[in-house]
Amino acid sequence: MKAKIITLTFLLFIFGFGIAGLVLKDREFSDMENRMLAQSPEVTYDAVMKGEFQDKLENYLSDQMPLRDGLYSLKVDYERLMMKTYQNGVYFADDGYLIQEYKENPVQIGRNVQYINGFAQNVDVPITFMLIPTATAILDDKLPAGCLNDDQMESIDKVRASLDSKIELIVPDEKLKSAAQSEQVFYRTDHHWTAQGAYAGYEALMEALGRPKAHSEYEYNTFRGKFYGTLYSKAPSAMQEADKFTAPKNIEGSYAVSFAKEQENAHLLIGMYDPTKLETKDKYATLFGGNFSHFTIHSNAQNKERILVIKDSYANALLPYLADSFATIDVIDMRYYHMEEQTVSELIKSEGISQVVLLYNMDFLNSDNNFLWLD
């Protein structure tokens, strides 16, 4: 009987998953992993002979495996119970934090700094570069013993040494560490900073720009639903506590966002927020509806100076504060600002920009390859 049960279980596992894979409709997108999934590859003679079909088929079968998300989560739970502290580029840190691994890529950092320096030579307005250390550096005391992270602050020192003298570099590490004593400055399940962490960055930025903070007391909306971020997608676990997604509210502020290119969801924005994103896994995209090539924030701020923010997604949490300090803010994301009618330097001249702010986190500078479009 024992042998029959084992055999039956084995057959159900093999044929059950095989039949389910044939019957179930293929998924196009994984909410858990926040990415498009591989689809059934086309069979051609050339693709088979070159091995391309086999590679695509392997990716397809892996992505479309029935119960994929649940089985992967079960694997992570098992490894956490076995006291493992690392999974898929993520460390299981103290106080329920998932912290992303950092491995320095000096070649990519060097290239990106070179592009930034070249951009500085093309413009005649002040450039302030806020380079944000991530939880890897700010919450390093929570990392498990023996983790093999490289030192982000050493990477930042190398950037500082190689930046053009026209660029003012500010690093809000002290502000963030001070705020972390009493606030949650990074999400536990996501690589972004929280609204409170972004406020610490805003304070550092305004000090560097020599402008006063526009509004000192914010209310914070805690939006409905549990928030499981990008790091949870890499290491999902039933043992993981969810985050709460929050955003600042200034009842005296008035805001509107216009997109350089028409966006389907532009009409859904309420001020600077897209409430439809609260129904999705990626609740961080509630801020402006996500990331776009170029949009402009208009507010009732007293300072009518027009500034340009060139950024990654970290900036999305800081921009609501900055909108209380500047009435017009142009926002460009170089991941999407490609082959436009105007280069960034041309836009600065045509729109009368008086100040440029580069706002990036160290992980992004270490890995992104879109700075080449900065001109």
Q: What DSSP line would sit under 44-88, residue for residue?
A: -HHHHHHTHHHHHHHHHHHHT-TTHHHHHHHHHHHHHHTT--EET
Alpha carbons within 13 angstroms on the beta-carbon side of residue 220 total: 14
Which tokens in the block code for residue 240?
A: 């993981």
pLDDT of 322:
97
CA 180 to chain centre: 20
pLDDT of 221:
87
How far apart (Å, rounded) are the C-alpha atoms in residues 81 and 351? Answer: 57
CB atoms closer than 10 angstroms to residue 235: 22
Alpha helices in the chain (DSSP H): 2-23, 45-50, 52-63, 68-81, 106-122, 135-138, 152-162, 173-179, 195-209, 230-234, 315-322, 344-350, 362-367
167-170, strands of its sheet edge to edge: 167-170, 127-132, 355-361, 306-311, 328-332, 294-299, 255-259
Query: What is the average per-residue pLDDT within 77-83?
Result: 86
The region of weakest confidence among 58-67, 110-119, 324-333, 341-350 is 58-67
How far apart (Å, rounded) are the C-alpha atoms in residues 68 and 153? Answer: 38
How far apart (Å, rounded) are the C-alpha atoms in residues 113 and 158? Answer: 10
pLDDT of 264:
60
Which tokens in the block code for residue 326?
A: 């500047």
- Is the pTM above the cut of 0.85? yes
How far apart (Å, rounded) are the C-alpha atoms in residues 135 and 185? Answer: 9
Which tokens in the block code for residue 225?
A: 């639903």
Query: What is the average per-residue pLDDT within 143-155?
Result: 94
pLDDT of 323:
96
* Contact of 152 with 172, CB cutoff 8 Å: no
- 4-39 per-position pLDDT tens digit: 888 988 888 777 767 766 677 777 776 666 667 778
pLDDT of 361:
98
- 234-252 per-position pLDDT tens digit: 999 988 999 999 999 998 9
CA 195 to chain centre: 14
* Contact of 314 with 363, CB cutoff 8 Å: no
- 258-302 per-position pLDDT tens digit: 998 866 666 678 889 999 999 888 899 999 999 999 999 999 999
pLDDT of 42:
83
How far apart (Å, rounded) are the C-alpha atoms in residues 307 and 98? Answer: 35
Query: What is the average per-residue pLDDT within 136-146?
Result: 95
